[in-house]
Amino acid sequence: MTTRSPKTASRKLRLGRGETSRTACARGVLRTGVDEKTGGFLTSGALAERVGWCADLVSAMASDLLAEHWNAPDVDALASGEDSDGRRLPTNAWMALRRLGWSATAPGGVKVNDRIVRMAQEEAGRILRSAKYRADLITGVLASWPADPLKRTAREWDAVRTAVPGGRHAPSSVIKGRTREIIAFAKANGGRLPVDVFEAEDAPGVARVLLLSSCDRQQVTIERCDDPTRALLRLQLPTRPDPTSYRDWTWVACPIALPPTIPAHAILHLPTLRFHGGQVRADIAFTHAVPNTSRTGHTIALGVDWGLNTLLSAGTVSLGGDGRMTAHGAGGMFRAAGVLAKQHRLRRLSEHLRAKSDHYQRLAAGRGLGEGPVSKVQHGKQAVLRDEIRRVSARRSNLNDALAWAAARWAVDQAVAAGAGVIYLEDLRSMEAGGMGRTMNTRLSHLVRAKITDRLRHLAAEIGIAVVTVPARGTSKNCPNCLAPLRHSKSPDRPAVPGWKWALCPSCGYQGDRDQGAWRRIAARGLAHQAKTVADRASGNLVIRALVDTLEAVGVITPTVCTASHADRSKTGPTRPQTTRPAPRRRGVPSPSRPPGVEGKRPGGHASTDRSRLPRAAHRHQSVTTISVLSPGPRPEVSTSGHRPQGAALGAGFHLHVHASRPRWETIPDTRSGTGSLR
């Protein structure tokens, strides 16, 4: 195998007017390599083995360092940002640990260079820094422990939010999760509460990864090749699992095919290597130029409302020069009923498998390993269940990722088509589903809202669109035109039947779908509170935290008056008589001679109705019942019982069960053609 010489590129990004730099990450795979010392070709398996030896050394050193400093004083010292002399600690974790005098040592008889030690210190330092938030959170929950931890009163909620740093804006689900953790510890220890998080939790495990960003050119380099779609990664890897000298470390050159999401002008950074399915994957960080986003000054906004089967409902609202807000059209919907039904079925299957695994664990603990053939069979079944649980979990994770990317891409397309400069989302981090039945509450609690929001921010930042979260209070309760409380019914033809889908305003007469009214309220609220948009200190995300009554009063939608005039279609004479003879199915004239085609061939007419291919998913009317479990046993040629998912059978897969409204305003402009940065 011959490698191409790397192309030296400038490490400085050139920015134009109205642009800013942005660092993102893309996935790559290390498939082959070349040992530069021997010139030998490394297959994918051999390369994964050598990278695994290096990752094992790093994780072992990081685990020892983490266990040594897993205590409150050391975590507080690292989080304080200052050393014993009062000097500010560096931002890099490995440099901060060295300033504090915390070193990692290699196992006895193993020889590693200083860059391998850096990676171990970096991994351990990141874990210790992240533990500070959990430590302060559990300390605040313990300091304000309520009489009934499962049912806090309003005063007790105020007390715990005051005791927790930043607890005023912390989601209630996070506080409840730590409360359940403390309850589980107390139940296992005779009612005694833990002192801190370091007693409630053991030292976390260390991932089997290589953080190459903490190294320098003496350990690893990455450069683009002559082809802008490829890069060359060179790094030192051991030739044996326990290298005893520096001669056991050699340079390995690994070509990487860059994904199309990395622009040609982007600057590449050192990746993070991890293992997945027997392959070495590289998380490649890169920096590129993107348009600036603005917090204020928006005149067109896209409002997005969350739902269940209708996962997203979105539409645009414009702010006029006179302060009036007008909604554009009826908006669109992203329906994912079939995907969510499959996700619900996989969740139930996972719970069933975990229950069986726990049952086998209790049986094995009661009999003991090796006490008869029954115990060995139980342990064998438990191993099979663990493998099946991992496969089901991987399917759920992949389905969630696909759904999150599809929903985020659709929302960004709606904003681009309408020319919106901002997307307003309702903040549902503290939402707890209740009162809608066990099944519905569970499905609402397992939506992928956080993933969709992250993907939405990622895609919107590529084209300079801001994403702002707004409080969700009253978005579905009040009328978007007059802010009066709405009356919800089952459907428009049954206004007296109580329900939740259809909304009617007794004050101004507005009526419409509940979700369609919600996105109007969200967009109007965001445009009215533009001056209150702030950036979160921890994450940097744009949020609107508090509502102002005066601004809320002006955040209403002005109803549009239809001025279109239609011709009078009143009947002025007798109806034209219609013939009873049906239209002929064939032409009444002979086929034309050459040209246009072969003699005797009739000209093209209507398309054939017996189409054999599966129609497009956007034009199919799917519902929750489109996904079900196949009947056990071998599948016959023609199934006569049970439901067969035709989408999966014919290869349509994910997109057969996802239906999205097309942008109704105008054609989406090609704003980033050729960069390949949008997914």
Q: For the segment 58-116, what is each residue's pLDDT rounded down to a tens digit?
A: 999 999 999 999 999 999 999 998 988 889 999 999 999 999 999 999 888 899 999 99
Beta strands, E only, 16-150: 19-30, 33-35, 41-42
Q: Which of 227, 249, 230 shows the shortest CA–CA distance to 238?
A: 249
- The sign of the CA dihedral 41, 45, 46, 52 is positive
The DSSP call for residue 88 is B
Q: 50 by DSSP, 3-state: which?
A: helix
Domain with CATH 3.30.420.140 in the chain: 300-337+402-554
What does pTM read for this prediction?
0.76
Q: Label the pairing between strands 210-211 and 272-276.
A: antiparallel
Q: What is the pLDDT of residue 302?
A: 95
**417: enclosing H helix or E strand:** helix 373-418
E strand intervals along 242-389: 249-257, 267-268, 272-276, 279-291, 300-306, 310-319, 325-335
pLDDT in tens, 120-172: 999 999 999 999 999 999 999 999 999 888 888 989 999 999 998 888 878 88
Task: Report the pLDDT value the prediction gives residue 530, as an integer from 0 to 100.
Answer: 92
**Interatomic CA distance for residues 444 and 296, integer angstroms:** 33
Q: Length of the chain in residues, anyone?
A: 679
Tell me how far apart the terminal alpha carbons of the chain are, to the nearest angstrom. 32
Give bridge partners of residue 237 from the DSSP assignment.
250
Q: Which residues contact 652 (CB under 8 A, 6 or more apart)?
A: 614, 617, 646
Q: What is the pLDDT of residue 278?
A: 84
Spatial CA neighbour of 426 closest among 506, 300, 501, 517? 517
In the block, tokens 């507005």 appear at 510
Its CATH architecture, for the domain 300-337+402-554, is 2-Layer Sandwich (3.30)
HEC profile for 495-530?
EEEECCCEEECCCCCCEEEHHHHHHHHHHHHHHHCH
User: Which residues of the chain fall below pLDDT 50?
Assistant: 1-10, 369-371, 597-598, 603-605, 607, 611, 614-651, 665-679
Q: Which amino acid is at 451?
A: K
Residue 222 carries which side chain, given as an amino acid letter? I
pLDDT for residue 245: 92
pLDDT of residue 475: 87
